[in-house]
């Protein structure tokens, strides 16, 4: 089977700024389910083993898309590094949801995409974004969360929050790149101004889609309790726990192996099976 790899497609969002997306799919005359992968905090489309994962989805007969959120810190010129920390600091949930809408609108128009079969896969914070978008956009009929948060209210507490408001910015060290990543106070203000829209719990309860919740039992960043909570909120969902798996299911950046890490392989196969059973 020949795979088409359309890499670094430039998308325009008038509400944010230009950003890049990749599409991988088999060469066929058939209409294919559209699967969109939403990266998380300090993530990007080419991180770790995501490219290998994308190939597996395409080989399974799916139209797989991944993209860099416009304000994730990467740039059009340098999509693999956090080359624009000013943009990173000015990111917020409204922008991420807007970008995801642009991605859906762009790829659903492809002649070999089945617009009745749209599935979101969100990792970590991208899971929370995907849950909200699934609730808001009735075109989406499949939702898969990978190590997802169960709330987007993940901000500094009390005194630290006051300091953030006073200073206008706080910094988080990126352990891998050693960069001090800025977070401007507008991020919190955007959340407060849209607190009802960003209610992941309510969106999970109300989502009219097939839902698969995947989480590693040894997730060091987002507790597996988040997955269990999401499953309780949406009892029709399927909960799939990967024993001893970490937050990225064994992947890391850079990923130099030619094959997926074992736990991410398990996750990828589960996702593909879920889509084929329900779509």
- Domain assignment present for residue 230? The answer is yes
CATH code of the domain covering residue 83:
3.40.50.1820
Could you tell me the CA-to-CA distances from 164 to 154, 156, 159, 172 in Å, in that order? Answer: 14, 8, 9, 12
pLDDT cut 70: percent of the chain above it = 100
Domain hosting 116: range is 3-153+195-278
Give the mean pLDDT of 167-177.
Answer: 97
Q: How far is CA 177 from CA 79, 110, 247, in A?
A: 15, 37, 18
- The Cα–Cα gap between 84 and 265 comes to 32
| pLDDT level of residue 38 (50, 70, 90 thresholds) | very high
Nearest to 80 by CA among 45, 53, 54, 49: 45
C-alpha distance from residue 254 to each of 46, 68, 74, 128, 176 (Å): 10, 17, 16, 25, 10
Classify residue 52: in a domain, yes or no: yes
167, part of any domain: no
Residue 189 lies in a domain: no
Residue 160 lies in a domain: no
For residue 271, pLDDT beyond 90: yes
129 falls within a domain: yes
The per-residue pLDDT for range 179-220, each reduced to its tens digit, is: 999 999 999 999 999 999 999 999 999 999 999 999 999 999
Tell me what the mean pLDDT of segment 176-181 comes to: 97
Asked if 112 contacts 184 with a C-beta cutoff of 8 angstroms, the reply is: no
Among residues 99, 25, 119, 27, the alpha carbon closest in space to that of 64 is found at: 25
pLDDT score, position 136 = 98
Residue 272 has pLDDT above 90, yes or no: yes
Asked if residue 106 belongs to a domain, the reply is: yes
Joined together, the tokens standing for residue 242 give 């990967």
pLDDT at 148 over 90: yes
Give tens-digit pLDDT for 59-91.
999 999 999 999 999 999 999 999 999 999 999
Helical residues (DSSP H) of the chain, grouped into ranges? 50-59, 85-89, 93-107, 125-136, 158-167, 186-193, 200-206, 225-233, 262-278
Q: How many domains, the chain?
A: 1
Give the mean model confidence (pLDDT) for residues 269-273.
Answer: 98
Pairing mode, strands 210-216 and 238-242:
parallel
Per-residue pLDDT at 1: 83
Which pLDDT band holds residue 49 (cuts at 50, 70, 90)?
very high
According to DSSP, residue 251 is labeled: -
Question: What is the DSSP secondary structure assignment for residue 223, as one 8-state letter?
Answer: -
Residue 146 domain flag: yes
């Amino acid at each position: 089977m020949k795979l088409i790899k359309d890499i670094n497609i430039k998308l325009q969002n008038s509400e944010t700024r230009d950003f890049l997306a990749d599409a991988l799919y088999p060469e066929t005359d058939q209409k294919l389910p559209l699967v969109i992968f939403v990266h998380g905090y300090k993530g990007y489309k080419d991180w770790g083993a995501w490219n290998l994962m994308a190939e597996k989805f395409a080989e399974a007969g799916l139209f797989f898309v991944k993209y860099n959120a416009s304000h994730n810190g990467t740039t059009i010129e340098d999509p693999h590094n956090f080359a624009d920390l000013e943009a990173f600091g000015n990111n917020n949930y409204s922008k991420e949801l807007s970008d995801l809408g642009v991605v859906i609108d762009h790829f659903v128009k492809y002649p070999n995409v089945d617009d009745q079969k749209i599935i979101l896969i969100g990792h970590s914070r991208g899971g929370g974004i995907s849950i909200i978008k699934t609730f808001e956009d009735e075109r989406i009929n499949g939702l898969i969360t990978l190590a997802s948060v169960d709330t987007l209210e993940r901000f500094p507490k009390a005194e630290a929050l006051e300091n953030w408001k006073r200073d206008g910015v706080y910094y988080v060290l990126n352990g891998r790149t050693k960069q001090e990543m800025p977070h401007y106070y507008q991020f919190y203000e955007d959340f407060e101004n849209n607190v009802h829209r960003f209610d992941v719990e309510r969106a999970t309860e109300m989502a009219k889609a097939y839902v698969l919740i995947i989480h590693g039992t040894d997730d060091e960043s987002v507790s597996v309790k988040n997955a269990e909570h999401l499953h309780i909120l949406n009892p029709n969902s399927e909960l799939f726990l990967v024993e001893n798996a970490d937050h990225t299911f064994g992947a890391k950046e850079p990923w130099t192996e030619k094959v997926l890490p074992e736990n991410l392989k398990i996750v990828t196969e589960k996702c593909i099976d879920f889509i084929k059973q329900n779509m």
